[in-house]
Amino acid sequence: MDKQQLVRRVAISTVSLLGLVLSNSIVADPGSRRANEVGSMGPVPKAECGPSDHTESGLQGQTTSQERSSGDSQRGYNCNLELVGQFRGEGAFSQDGPSYFSHCAYMATENRAQQAHPGIVVIDVSDPKNPQPTAYLADTKAALNPHENNKVNEARGLLGLAQSNGPNFAVYDLNEDCAHPKLASTFDVPNSSGHMGGWAEDGKTYYIGQSFRGVNGIMPIIDVTDPYHAKWLLNWTFTGDGRPHDLSTNASGTRMYSGQPGNFGAPITDSSFGPDGLVILDMSDIQFRRPNPQIRIISRLFWNDQGQAEQMLPFTSNGRSYLISTDESGGQAGVGGLAAACARGASAYGYSNVIDITDETSPKIASKIMLEVHDPANCSKFLNEPPETGGGALDYSTERCAIDRPGNPTMAACGSRGTGTRIYDIRDPLHPAEIAYWKGPAPRTAFLPGSGSWSPTTDRTVEKQAGLARFVWVPTGNGKGHDKAGNAPQLTNVVDPVTGVKVTFPDLNSPPLGGEDFQTNLIMPEPTVFLNKQLPACSIIRPTATNGAAMGALRSLTADGLFIGQSKAFFTFLRDLAENADAARREH
């Protein structure tokens, strides 16, 4: 499967299988060679776009001065991605989520007086072509203005919100009806001034990152073991490194991956005093609720060519553990601005590092997810770019990434302040490649009071899509290797490419077959290229030995992340179906 087939598969098809055997050529060796190997450190290979796509004309990721001044950017740009549906409402603060649970999205707004519906917009996206608002969360100060503290813990179905530049914290229960969240707890946290934060992976602890992230800054810690009686545990003070902008944890919650923000030349009293990069923290005392808890530094990994480190997104691939980082500002946010960044060889804008943390005591940058606009060699080309009217300088920094699954992911989708939403092939984390992008139409002077980028005097010629993406697998009907083969044709004299044996698949819809026993809305045999064109053609066959097959399929699909975000009732229902299917016997 080449990189273009990869993105089209997620856009149009999903395949359900009962079993799969991979050759050694497909699964990379997780041995010591990979531990020491250095991947690509420059711009990723460009996507190969379709003939009908409206593509960028400048550097990879750039919206050129000509595209902006001519009005062409109002059409938007796309490569292998097309818009399916959209909810615009009164605008959104693009960095404030969205967060997601099941078929719902939670979009924060700017909370301006001009808004008819302030607060978190709850959107039902069960029909991707026609997303609809179902509720507006405005009953807490945290919901009215959470900024980047808009996080869902899918394991427990909880939405955590912390007030921007204020003390309020709120947690909403999404399990009964994600389209109408239920307020579980809210209270003011002592001395908190929220900015960004996140959940421990198990959903029992929420960490509130602060608007001041400098030395001696605090991190309030909330116990959400009982979401209906959430409580403040403590405020941890960072006397040195570890101060999080954004954060994530490992599966057990005992390690925090802190994106420590730093800008070049910032004074020690500044919120953006560096260094900039990753700090891995031991959170065991907090996770296990030990008395007199301490947070200990395990390791550090810093870089000096960017600014304002933010997200640290964990995943595993071929037996190794990684993070994808983002930097919000790039080198231009340092002392001296863009010109000084270019002079010292820094990147003008923030990009992503792929960091190998298999040895947590010695994390290493394994590769970079960088576009041409991020390449330090191109920094000076942006010195004379005209700023946005009323909106400041252009910014192509990458701010949020999402992966299609946490184990052996195939794709990453990254939102940006100016390059749109970019999709990358990360099957080999050491050599990522661009496979698609979608840059929305420039909003120009559209009246969007809920948008963080709107003001009465602003003219935006580049769309800002810094929000969090989410992969959703959807079924389709036709196509090779599909999950509904009811229209599969009769195949005669199909030659097995290995044995040379000819096989004929009968028409199951015609006499002497047909009827309920032979209905074809099941997975049927159809020769197809699967995974890689270099492998022999294969067929997906309805099994005859089905003992435990349904439950096995359910476990496999759940492990692949297909049902992320579904409720406990959903899983109970599926387990009942699978158990009944395994226990069923054909009537003769």
Which has the higher per-residue pLDDT, 573 or 290?
290
Average pLDDT of the residues of the chain: 85
d(CA 545, CA 548): 9
pLDDT at residue 79 tops 80: yes
pLDDT at residue 26 tops 50: no
Question: What pLDDT is recorded for position 555?
Answer: 77
Mind listing the pLDDT tens digit for each residue in 344-366?
Answer: 999 999 999 999 999 999 999 99
Question: What pLDDT is recorded for position 16?
Answer: 22
Question: What pLDDT is recorded for position 420?
Answer: 95
Mind listing the pLDDT tens digit for each residue in 294-316?
Answer: 999 999 999 999 999 999 999 99
Cis, bond preceding 98 (omega within 30 deg of 0): yes
CB-CB contact of 346 with 304 (8 Å): yes
Amino acid identity at 492:
T
Question: What pLDDT is recorded for position 192?
Answer: 98
Place of tokens 């929000």: 467
Question: What pLDDT is recorded for position 276?
Answer: 97
- Segment 150-166 shows an average pLDDT of 97
Place of tokens 């990684």: 322
Question: What pLDDT is recorded for position 569?
Answer: 81
- Give the least confident one: 426-430, 431-435, 512-516: 512-516
CB-CB contact of 276 with 308 (8 Å): yes
- Segment 244-248 shows an average pLDDT of 97
Going by pLDDT thresholds of 50, 70 and 90, the confidence category of residue 582 is confident
DSSP conformation class of 211: S
- Segment 53-75 shows an average pLDDT of 97
Question: What pLDDT is recorded for position 390?
Answer: 87
Amino acid identity at 451:
S
Going by pLDDT thresholds of 50, 70 and 90, the confidence category of residue 563 is confident
Q: Where are the domains of the chain?
A: 3-19+475-583
d(CA 452, CA 91): 8
pLDDT at residue 219 tops 70: yes
Going by pLDDT thresholds of 50, 70 and 90, the confidence category of residue 186 is very high
State the pTM of this model: 0.79
DSSP conformation class of 314: E
3-class DSSP string for 101-144: ECCEEEECCCCCCCCCCCCEEEEECCCCCCCEEEEEECCCHHHH
pLDDT at residue 530 tops 70: no
470-474 contact pairs (CB < 8 A, 24+)? 470/98, 470/100, 470/105, 470/402, 470/413, 471/10, 471/402, 471/403, 471/404, 471/405, 471/411, 471/413, 472/128, 473/10, 473/14, 473/562, 474/12, 474/14, 474/128
List the one residue out of 386, 387, 421 whose CA is nearest residue 402. 421
The SS3 call for residue 380 is: helix
Question: What pLDDT is recorded for position 308?
Answer: 95
Q: Which two tokens stand for residue 215?
A: 């030395």
pLDDT at residue 383 tops 80: yes
Question: What pLDDT is recorded for position 11?
Answer: 36
- Give the least confident one: 126-140, 191-205, 458-472, 494-508: 494-508
Question: What pLDDT is recorded for position 233?
Answer: 98
Sign of the alpha-carbon torsion through 478, 480, 484, 485? positive
d(CA 169, CA 187): 6
- Give the least confident one: 16-25, 177-186, 279-288, 537-546: 16-25
pLDDT at residue 245 tops 80: yes
3-class DSSP string for 488-556: CCCEEEEECCCCCCEEEECCCCCCCCCCHHHCCCCCCCCCECCCCCCCCCECCCCCCCCCCHHHHHHHH
Going by pLDDT thresholds of 50, 70 and 90, the confidence category of residue 479 is very low
Return phi, psi of residue 246, to 5°.
-110, 170
Question: What pLDDT is recorded for position 529?
Answer: 47
Question: What pLDDT is recorded for position 37?
Answer: 82
d(CA 44, CA 62): 14
